[in-house]
Chain A
Amino acid sequence: MESGLSSLLSVSIDFETSHLFFPRIIHWIMAGLFVLILMTKVAPFMASVKRGERTLPIVGEARDNFRFIGTLVLIAAYFYFMAVVGDMFPYTGYGFLLVSMVFVLLMSLLYLHDWTKKALTIVVVNAIVAPSLAWFVLAKLFTITLP
């Protein structure tokens, strides 16, 4: 019995495949937990969704779609164009500076609810000043690499 148990527990790891040993264990644990959660949490939750007591997360929720999707698109475009413009002026940080100005302006406008003259002025000034300040302090004073 004793030897049976110790042979059950003994393990030898082949160095060539040792990078897969731990991930495999994690996969099994993840799968096990996922099934448990499906049974104890998701199933009752779905049942209450069916009865109309709750709504599905994300899909069934009210959301400001315009601002949410807008944010995602703006951020993705921001990252993309930063690299593109940055490649035109390598090692200067201009890519960051120029694209950030446009990004800050557009995102501020996206989130601005009341388009008054005063608010718009602040937005425009901020879009020019904030990236310039960040660029000057980080890239010039601290010589940090920027795109």
Chain B
Amino acid sequence: MEFLSLLDITFFLLAGFGALVGIIFGAIPGMTATMAVAVCLPLTYALGLHHGLALLLGLYVGGISGGMVPAVLLNIPGTPSSITTTFDGYPMAQKGEGEKALKICVIASVVGGLISAAILFLFAPLLADFSIKFSYVEKFLIILLALSVIASLSSSMLIGIFSGVIGIWLSLIGDYSISDGGNGKTRLMFDFMEPYLFEGFSLLPVLIGVFGISTILLEAEKGAKSGLVNERIKISKGGGFSLSIFNGRLTNLVRSSFIGTFVGMLPGVGGSAASVLAYTQEKNLTRDSSQMGKGAPQGLIASESANNALTGGALIPLLSLGIPGDSTTAVLIGAFTLQGIQVGPLFIPENTETWYVMMTALVFANIVMFFLMFYAIKYIAKVVMVPKHILFPIIVMMCVVGAYAINYGIMFDVWTLLIFGILGYLVQKIGLEVAPLIIGFILGSQAEVYFVKSLESFGTFSIFFTKSPIAMVLWGLIVASVMFAIVMGFKSRARQKMELTQVTGSTRTASGKGHETDND
């Protein structure tokens, strides 16, 4: 219990502050938890490790939760993960039950968050313990598995893999670092770039650019319309909320939380996958699903408990394997590196105190989120109205601070923001996927080291198949995830064909839907 001495009042204030700012970001449509973390990064530079963690985890939990507000009140998911909250939340708000709907969401959220925190607490050390024995060969295969899972869950596997490989390619720009056992020579660049890019692009400016600046560009293109000002926000008293709503919904609550945690563990899968999966499961398994989509509390419970359960789930591979579970944890990995933490199998055994501090912050952030949203929801709902012409310049400004200060004042890091802001914009425009690209970027240089070092010491490609039973199991999983994607691809194609033949009249709308980008 020594870690208790590390907790002070500032720690709890920061976690609470983080949750509040996160909720506000999550509540503004188009702003996501990832952005909240990215924009608030500069604040953590000056904080110590534990205080920084408190703020970051508060932001993460708050950001994911905040998305429910516009989802219920305006039928716009504040973050992609609250997409299914709109199905039942908005109909309830229209019936004048907005407050009731939000309170159901808040309770479901906090339960989901806490269940996933418990799973994280029990499971991450086990996984870390197990993976500590991994050699370079297994570590490379783990990264390969992570990338193949991301790709297989993308809307198209081919596009997913391609995006991931582009991410890897981008991460290779720069030198083959001597500290990793490389020869220190640069590649993939022209000589004149060497002063700027010798060590490649810095991780955090890349992330802030892709998630911050490109979001601004996408909004600017649409004219940055405020649009919401004219809509009336109805949150009418309507009362009617009591805990008895949750009677008989416990299975749903727990099941959705587990689904959320599990989906969160899969690398690179956005929050929308978690809530959609939980929602459809509830629809399939419940006795009476006739009201779902028309304003049924059970839909809200499934959706919100699943998307908050993501938080704990996504932290499991991050802390035990060093592989981020979603784009927000991808930014977190950068923030950790900044604080001198190397996440991976050794993190938990070597930093037990930090690990307990993190758990405390995570649980506390969930509780603060609950009280803030349960009692102050009416006031928080108003931030949906903050006009974009005030918000956007401030976001760009904070992005600049974050990028500039990261390496103690390098202007090229600021330009990296713009480069990757434009790249992120183009990538989303032409239908590639951001999440695999970013995960590829983060894991690419490690993948290179593990791959080349394995070959240097064993001298044959066959080592990747024969090194150990674990390697074979990992190959099995890789093949399984690819097969899964192929089968799902065929199924959806068959379904599309069936729909096409059934509704021959309206073929265009079915095929007209492009790739949905899923980055939160």
Contacts and interface: CB of A to CB of B under 8 A. Distances in A.
Interface of A: 6, 9-13, 15-16, 18-23, 26-27, 29-30, 33-34, 36-37, 40-41, 48, 53-54, 57-58, 63-64, 67-68, 70-72, 75-76, 78-79, 82-83, 96, 100, 103-104, 107-113, 122-123, 126-127, 130-131, 134, 138, 141-147
A134 B429 CA distance: 33
Contacts of A75: 213, 396, 418, 421
B460 A9 contact: yes
B397 A19 contact: no
B220 A9 contact: no
The A interface, classified by DSSP as helix, strand, loop or mixed, is helix
Residues of B contacting A: mostly: helix
B431 interface: yes
Interface string B168-209: 110010011000001111111000000000000000000000
A130 B415 CA distance: 22
Contact of A79 (B389, B418, B459, B508): B418
Given A29-B165, A111-B388, A145 B408 contact: yes
Interface string B387-408: 0111011101110110011001
B187 A130 contact: no
Contact of B397 (A11, A40, A104): A104
Contact of A18 (B183, B186, B225, B429): B183
A22 to B, nearest CB: 4
B337 interface: no
B473 interface: no
Contact of B45 (A30, A64, A142): A142
Nearest to A56: B430
B177 to A, nearest CB: 9
Contacts, number: 185
A40 B172 contact: no
A68 B220 contact: yes
Given A112-B389, A113-B226, A22 B165 contact: no
B55 to A, nearest CB: 12
Given A26-B165, A145-B405, A146-B401, A41 B156 contact: yes
Contact of A131 (B172, B397, B448): B397
A108 B390 CA distance: 6
B161 interface: yes
B379 interface: no
Contacts of A21: 452, 455
- Chain A CB count within 10 A is highest, among B169, B185, B392, B396, for B396
> 9 closest pairs, A vs B, by CB?
A142-B46, A19-B176, A111-B389, A64-B223, A107-B393, A104-B393, A71-B220, A145-B409, A22-B448
Given A22-B172, A41-B159, A144-B45, A11 B411 contact: no
Contact of A104 (B394, B414, B448, B452): B394
Interface residues of B, number: 72
A48 B512 CA distance: 10
Contacts of A142: 42-43, 45-46
Contacts of A134: 394, 397-398, 401
A45 to B, nearest CB: 9
B222 interface: yes
Contacts of B226: 113
20 contacts: A9-B461, A15-B183, A18-B176, A19-B182, A22-B447, A27-B169, A30-B166, A58-B426, A63-B221, A64-B221, A71-B216, A75-B421, A79-B418, A96-B404, A100-B397, A100-B400, A107-B389, A111-B389, A112-B389, A134-B398
Given A41-B158, A107-B392, A142-B43, 12 more contacts: A10-B460, A18-B456, A19-B187, A20-B187, A26-B168, A26-B172, A64-B221, A79-B418, A82-B400, A96-B404, A138-B405, A145-B405
Contact of B405 (A34, A108, A127, A144): A144
B183 A79 contact: no
A30 B496 CA distance: 29
Contacts of B452: 13, 18, 21-22
Contacts of B431: 57
B224 interface: yes
A72 B462 contact: no
Contacts of B397: 100, 103-104, 130-131, 134
B398 to A, nearest CB: 7
A113 B460 CA distance: 64
B427 to A, nearest CB: 11
Contacts of B233: none
B216 A53 contact: no
